[in-house]
């Protein structure tokens, strides 16, 4: 059950409260011979994704149409017939997608209760956006007529914003960055997507917007809002399809692969990575190809397929050697030297190859990286040192990790800190326990 952000947006536009909508629906029902007794709690359930029974969806349209003085359809309120054209995989119409996407941004910025803690979808709903990106039909024409004329400088503004918020995320964490990037999506990006532009400029606009929406998804993921992150990633994938940039779509799928790994959906991670590599073809740069293979290696290792995992590690290493700085898109800047090493270390650790994992983790730590990446690398090395019976060395590594993480507002990093602390405490070493206490002190700082 997914939140109904379209209904929420129309309620806000109409200036109608939950109790007000319930009362108006009851009154409209009486006019049609129905005895309805809805209260504000029912409206709250509709906003959380529950579908009203019988003729109530039509009554909601009738009430909102009268208040807004324009026609309102079931699709407008997010209550269209399930299993329609888009649900069958025949393509999501772009204009309708834009309205749904911007409604989500608005609800997220306002921190609407029905959106908080929404669960990530699994099964067919999780696979469908990837299938839709990979298969025809493509958007023949993305031009649009709207109140705001879009210019090339507007697109440059979106690109600069994406770079700015990505850097902020790396330095301060997703919790600190999320509100800012979502605010920018509402204030600057939404009016442009609803604006006026031709096909060529429109494709550039959708590409720039897609990169920015992907950063919003990264920040939601880092804030432990997994369902919301997934919805942003699915939006970014649809924008990538509209842009015609297959490489951008493959990058977004890499974000979905990473989330699938975290959620323990290992077979889905393998399948998504294969879809990106297969469909984007030559549009996938060496950096992104290396990371996709490295994440596949982690997934195969968790599935117990050592042969496939090692094969993917080797392919990732070969692709990493082909990376040419300055010839990669901005989005793949996260694939820094040492990233393949740390992913290989995680895969080998899952397979029980401690010497191989140690070699790769050490190489990753010795390679310069931004603080966020370095925290992750140090955490893996500390875990391997503990497994190899070196609690004092692990404590020193964890101490550096804790200092690097200080000041970052990230639930993903806090989870990593807790994991390392628990391993240190279990070791029974005096130095390890002292470092564990330092981690506890860092964790007591509220987010």
Q: What are the pLDDT digits (tens) for 211-261?
A: 999 999 999 999 999 999 999 999 999 999 999 999 999 999 999 999 999
- Would you state the pLDDT for residue 325? 84
> Are 102 and 10 within 8 A, CB to CB?
no
- Would you state the pLDDT for residue 87? 37
- Would you state the pLDDT for residue 216? 98
- Would you state the pLDDT for residue 82? 54
244-281 as b/e: b if 16+ CB within 10 A: bbbbbbbbbbbbbbbbbbeeebbebbbbbbebbbebbe
Q: Where are the beta strands (DSSP E) in 89-208?
A: none
Largest CA distance in the chain: 77
- Would you state the pLDDT for residue 88? 33
Q: Return the closest-CA partner of residue 205 out of 246, 252, 157.
A: 157
- Give the pair of three-digit tokens for residue 52: 């009203």
Whole-model pTM: value is 0.87
Q: What's the rounded Cα separation, in Å, for the pair 38 and 53?
A: 12
SS3 state at 196: strand
Which residues are 149's β-sheet partners? 196
- Give the pair of three-digit tokens for residue 402: 């804790």
- Would you state the pLDDT for residue 132? 93
Q: Return the closest-CA partner of residue 219 out of 209, 228, 210.
A: 228
Q: What's the rounded Cα separation, in Å, for the pair 278 and 264?
A: 23
Q: What's the rounded Cα separation, in Å, for the pair 69 and 71?
A: 7
- Would you state the pLDDT for residue 72? 86
Domain ranges of the chain: 5-82, 89-244, 370-447
- Would you state the pLDDT for residue 81? 61
Low-confidence ranges of the chain (pLDDT < 50): 83-90
Q: What's the rounded Cα separation, in Å, for the pair 64 and 214?
A: 33
Q: What angle do CA 355, 357, 361 make, to 5 degrees?
A: 120
The pairs formed by 46-51 with CB atoms below 8 angstroms and a separation of 24 or more are 46/4, 46/7, 47/3, 47/4, 47/7, 47/8, 47/18, 47/112, 47/114, 48/1, 48/3, 48/4, 48/114, 49/1, 49/2, 49/3, 49/4, 49/114, 50/1, 51/79
């Amino acid at each position: 059950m997914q939140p109904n952000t379209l209904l929420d947006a129309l309620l806000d536009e109409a200036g109608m409260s939950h109790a007000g909508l319930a009362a108006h629906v009851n009154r409209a029902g009486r006019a049609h011979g129905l005895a309805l007794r809805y209260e504000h709690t029912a409206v709250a359930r509709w906003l959380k994704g529950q579908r009203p029974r019988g003729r109530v969806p039509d009554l909601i349209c009738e009430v909102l149409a009268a208040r807004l003085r324009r026609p309102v359809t079931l699709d407008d309120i997010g209550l269209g017939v399930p299993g329609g054209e888009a649900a069958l995989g025949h393509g999501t119409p772009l204009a309708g997608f834009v309205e749904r996407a911007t409604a989500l941004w608005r609800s997220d910025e306002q921190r609407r209760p029905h959106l908080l803690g929404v669960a990530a979808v699994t099964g067919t709903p999780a696979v469908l956006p990837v299938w839709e990106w990979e298969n025809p039909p493509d958007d023949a024409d993305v031009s649009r007529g709207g109140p705001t004329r879009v210019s090339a400088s507007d697109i440059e503004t979106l690109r600069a914003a994406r770079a700015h918020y990505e850097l902020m995320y790396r330095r301060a964490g997703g919790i600190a960055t999320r509100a800012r990037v979502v605010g920018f999506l509402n204030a600057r990006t939404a009016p442009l997507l609803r604006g006026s532009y031709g096909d060529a400029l429109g494709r550039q606009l959708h590409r720039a917007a897609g990169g920015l929406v992907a950063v919003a998804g990264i920040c939601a993921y880092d804030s432990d809002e997994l369902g919301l992150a997934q919805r942003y990633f699915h939006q970014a994938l649809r924008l990538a399809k509209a842009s015609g940039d297959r490489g951008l779509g493959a990058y977004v799928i890499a974000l979905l692969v990473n989330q699938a790994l975290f959620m323990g959906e290992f077979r889905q991670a393998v399948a998504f990575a294969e879809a990106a590599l297969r469909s984007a073809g030559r549009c996938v740069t060496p950096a992104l190809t290396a990371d996709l293979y490295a994440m596949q290696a982690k997934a195969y290792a968790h599935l117990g397929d050592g042969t496939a995992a090692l094969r993917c590690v080797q392919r990732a290493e070969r692709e990493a050697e082909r990376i040419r700085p300055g010839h990669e898109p901005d989005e793949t800047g996260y694939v820094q030297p040492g990233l393949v090493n740390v992913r290989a270390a995680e895969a080998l650790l899952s397979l029980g190859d401690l010497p191989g994992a140690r070699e790769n983790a050490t190489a990753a730590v010795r390679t310069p990286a931004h603080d966020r990446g370095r925290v992750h690398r140090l955490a893996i090395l500390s875990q391997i040192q503990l497994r190899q019976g070196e609690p004092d060395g692990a404590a020193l590594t964890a101490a550096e990790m804790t200092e690097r993480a200080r000041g970052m507002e990230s639930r993903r990093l806090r989870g990593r800190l807790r994991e390392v602390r628990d391993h240190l405490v279990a070791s029974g070493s005096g130095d390890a326990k002292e470092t564990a206490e330092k981690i506890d002190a860092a964790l007591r700082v509220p987010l």
